[in-house]
């Protein structure tokens, strides 16, 4: 089943079921007005949504054309967004960038942070920033949405709580990060609003690409129309989603509709060295910071620029048949001008 | 106007207007089903809620007895909970506890973190924890709830966005904090679910105690029925709420219903030295960690124990007339036993 949230002038949009090929949508408001409402009562409502999805595929219910650019993030606002950093090659590279070694416990204790979830961007909405010099970067990630997770959930319960999978652009302001992390309380200003894929899909839609904990498909990231990365989201993810969820639920329950991100998808070469750029025949990167770090390590100085006003980033995942699974995130960076009061 | 959220078996409860003396409540469901719904359309709905509040005071609408222990947190779950650390005497003490000095920029750059907001505890709900040895502590705080704040809001706009004031118990697991902060991404497991006061009040209810940025009343904190702290929430708050809000809104908007906390209310003596305990005639502390730090600084070792199973913490604010303004948070620590699946 594929679900989307369509703009209707409200903060939470309206829930729609989308066809497998992303061509059509049918209103699901008779079952749940919003995706959060569906998640709040998932066990009861998901079978009804599944039935509607089957009817949509069969062409037996009224349908409208699905247009990705009319979709909001599946949860336009959520009660929780937790972002992991599960690809250790990414962690290692960004730490190297600031001269920090990799503590041994990072291989056993997952890294995650509490993100802002009150105002996500739509998948085709511009990234508006007051200052280009913030070091505007994208981070391509996979994320899961869970139903209620009790405090102390183990891996098995955590895995069973996963009901939807999405992709994410976790926008990061690289030049604000060092000073902010130095304060000791984690990210805040350096992590502005994220955007999610037009469509959220149930794990069964992913077939053998989903192993219950990781999504084994390349994440396609391009900048201004040029492929920048195609790392396999299933490779190098040291902590899988059940591990991230169980870690997050150690001292508190996670409410239905909590979104948990993988962190920047990042691969290494077979010999453990950092991925090579796409232009050199490698699988590239799903954030600019990694490219810059690799450049600094090999050529002496970062050459890849952070995003400038007017730049566009596109993030997508295609299945083995070459079809877009989640629809595409495609965002252009724009100068933020304050609305006149 | 005073508002509460009463339990009705749903995740978000039902909105009620509460009388000034906290004796009565009247259902506000005809105006907004939930507090979030009211906040989403505050400019239009607040005047209608105010009218209902006037009718309740006049006894001209149906009313029920208001019972604090039946109230949920005003927002039982919220789209955002941002917690500041605006009382620098607290920051200085907890940093001293781990041998860290106070960086000069801490006096000009507010410290805040993104908290979990998906599952707040009710004001009289137990604090259930799997392990007493987590170093279970309370933190008494004041917080504000805002309507929409645009990205880049200045102090004036930030101040105008404040629509409700509450008090908070920001439960903290002290023994988990050092290792978690050392990872560099801020708090996560060390900050379990917080609880808020039974009632949220509009700033005008606070009279001269509210100066637009700070609440000038003592926060009364007791442990097992014994007064532990009575620090003035208006003193020592180096960054006021408009400053915290503007800082939070620098790179993203804040959605309606965002809650911003002051951080642990903490005062110094007139000479700048740490507050003395209540038992020594001082104003004491609104968290155990400060008492322990002062003991370590003066007596060589912390003597105050963290909360044990069975311990109770009560947090309340009374106005100049001695009446409870927000109702009381009163929580007992209990062992968390996993529900049988």
Q: How do residues A69-83 score in pLDDT, each as one tens digit?
A: 999 999 999 999 999
Which ranges of chain A does DSSP label H, i.e. alpha helix?
35-40, 42-58, 88-97, 155-160, 177-182, 241-248, 288-299
Residue-wise pLDDT for B23-49, tens only, equals 999 999 999 999 999 999 999 999 999
Facing B11 at nearest CB: one of A40, A173, A253? A40
How far apart CA A130 and CA A127 sit, in angstroms, is 10
Residue-wise pLDDT for A84-124, tens only, equals 999 998 888 888 776 788 888 999 999 999 999 999 999 99
Contacts of A119 in chain B (CB under 8 A): 79, 252-255
- Which pLDDT score, from 0 to 100, does residue A36 have? 98
How far apart CA B73 and CA B200 sit, in angstroms, is 9
Residue-wise pLDDT for B229-247, tens only, equals 999 999 999 999 999 999 9
Q: ipTM of the predicted structure? A: 0.96
- Which pLDDT score, from 0 to 100, does residue B24 have? 98
A39 phi and psi angles, rounded to 5 deg: -70, -35
Q: What is the DSSP letter of A21?
A: T
Predicted structure pTM score: 0.97
Contact call for residues A156 and A173 (beta carbons, < 8 A): no
Cβ separation B186–A78 shorter than 8 A: no
Facing B79 at nearest CB: one of A112, A118, A185? A118
| Interface membership of A11 toward B (CB under 8 Å) | yes
- Which pLDDT score, from 0 to 100, does residue A339 have? 56
Facing A118 at nearest CB: one of B106, B185, B255? B255
Residue-wise pLDDT for A12-64, tens only, equals 999 999 999 999 999 999 999 999 999 999 999 999 999 999 999 999 999 99
- Which pLDDT score, from 0 to 100, does residue A300 have? 84
Candidates B72, B104, B114, B190, partner chain A, best to mutate (most A CBs within 10 A): B114
Residue-wise pLDDT for B43-82, tens only, equals 999 999 999 999 999 999 999 999 999 999 999 999 999 9
Q: What is the DSSP letter of A256?
A: T
Contacts of B338 in chain A (CB under 8 A): 150-152
Residue-wise pLDDT for B172-186, tens only, equals 999 999 999 999 899
Q: Where are the beta strands (DSSP E) in chain A?
A: 2-6, 14-18, 24-27, 64-65, 71-72, 81-84, 112-115, 127-129, 136-137, 140-146, 162-169, 172-173, 195-196, 200-201, 219-223, 226-229, 259-261, 312-317, 329-335
Greatest CA separation for chain A: 61
pLDDT range class, residue B337, cuts 50, 70, 90: confident
pLDDT range class, residue B341, cuts 50, 70, 90: very low
Mean pLDDT value of segment B187-195:
97
Q: Which A positions 232-271 lie with beta carbon below 8 A of chain B?
A: 247-248, 250-258
Structure tokens at A161: 């709580």
Facing B114 at nearest CB: one of A115, A130, A176? A115
Strand A312-317 to strand A112-115: parallel, antiparallel, or no bridges (unpaired)? unpaired
pLDDT over 90 for what percent of chain A? Answer: 90
Contacts of A258 in chain B (CB under 8 A): 118
- Which pLDDT score, from 0 to 100, does residue B300 have? 84
| Interface membership of B122 toward A (CB under 8 Å) | no
- Which pLDDT score, from 0 to 100, does residue A222 have? 98
b/e sequence A112-129, b meaning 16+ C-beta within 10 Å = bbbbbbbbbbbbbbbbbb
Contact call for residues A135 and A87 (beta carbons, < 8 A): no
How far apart CA A299 and CA A293 sit, in angstroms, is 10
Structure tokens at B215: 């609440």
Contact call for residues A192 and B251 (beta carbons, < 8 A): yes
- Which pLDDT score, from 0 to 100, does residue B101 have? 84
Contacts of A90 in chain B (CB under 8 A): none
CB atoms inside a 10 Å sphere around CB B45:
17
Q: Exposure of B230 by Cβ count < 10 A (0-12 exposed, 13-18 middle, 19+ buried)? A: buried
Residue-wise pLDDT for B105-146, tens only, equals 999 999 999 999 999 999 999 999 999 999 999 999 999 999
How far apart CA A38 and CA B109 sit, in angstroms, is 41
Cβ separation B253–A77 shorter than 8 A: no
- Which pLDDT score, from 0 to 100, does residue A91 have? 87
Cβ separation A11–B190 shorter than 8 A: no
| Interface membership of B208 toward A (CB under 8 Å) | no
Q: Residue A236, by phi and psi: left (phi above 0), alpha (psi -120 to 50) or beta?
A: left
Under 8 Å CB-to-CB from A12, ≥6 apart: which residues? A5, A33, A34, A35, A36, A75, A76, A77
Among A33-42, A221-230, A308-317, A329-338, the range scoring the smallest mean pLDDT is A329-338
b/e sequence A234-261, b meaning 16+ C-beta within 10 Å = bbbbbbbbbbbbbbbbbbbbbbbbbbbb
pLDDT over 90 for what percent of chain B? Answer: 90
Structure tokens at B22: 């906290």
pLDDT range class, residue A310, cuts 50, 70, 90: very high
């Amino acid at each position: 089943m594929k679900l989307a949230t369509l703009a209707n002038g409200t903060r939470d949009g309206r829930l729609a079921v989308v066809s497998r090929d992303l061509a059509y949508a049918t209103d699901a408001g008779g079952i749940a007005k919003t995706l959060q409402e569906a998640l709040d009562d998932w066990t009861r409502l998901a079978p009804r949504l599944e039935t509607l999805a089957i009817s949509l595929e069969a062409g037996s219910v009224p349908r409208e054309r699905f247009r990705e650019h009319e979709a909001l993030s599946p949860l336009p606002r959520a009660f929780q967004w937790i972002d992991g950093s599960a690809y250790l090659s990414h962690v290692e590279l960004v730490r190297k960038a600031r001269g920090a070694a990799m503590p041994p416990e990072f291989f056993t204790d997952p890294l995650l942070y509490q993100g802002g979830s009150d105002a996500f961007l739509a998948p085709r909405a511009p990234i508006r920033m007051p200052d280009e010099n913030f070091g505007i970067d994208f981070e391509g990630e996979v994320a899961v949405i869970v139903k209620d997770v009790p405090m102390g959930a183990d891996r098995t319960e955590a895995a069973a709580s996963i009901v939807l999978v999405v992709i994410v652009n976790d926008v990061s302001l690289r030049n604000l990060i060092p000073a902010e992390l130095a304060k000791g309380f984690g990210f805040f200003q350096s992590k502005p609003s994220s955007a999610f894929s037009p469509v959220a899909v149930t794990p069964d839609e992913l077939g053998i690409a989903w192993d219950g904990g990781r999504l084994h498909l390349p994440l396609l990231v391009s900048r201004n129309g040029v492929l920048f990365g195609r790392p396999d989201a299933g490779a190098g993810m040291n902590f899988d989603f059940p591990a991230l969820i169980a870690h997050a639920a150690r001292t508190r329950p996670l409410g239905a509709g909590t979104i948990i991100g993988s962190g920047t998808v990042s691969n290494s070469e077979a010999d453990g060295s950092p991925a090579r750029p796409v232009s050199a025949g490698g699988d590239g990167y799903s954030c600019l910071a990694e490219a810059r770090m690799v450049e600094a390590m090999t050529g002496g100085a970062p050459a890849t620029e952070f995003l400038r006003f007017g730049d566009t980033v596109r993030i997508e995942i295609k299945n083995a048949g070459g079809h877009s699974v989640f629809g595409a995130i495609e965002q252009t960076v724009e100068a933020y001008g304050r609305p006149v009061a």
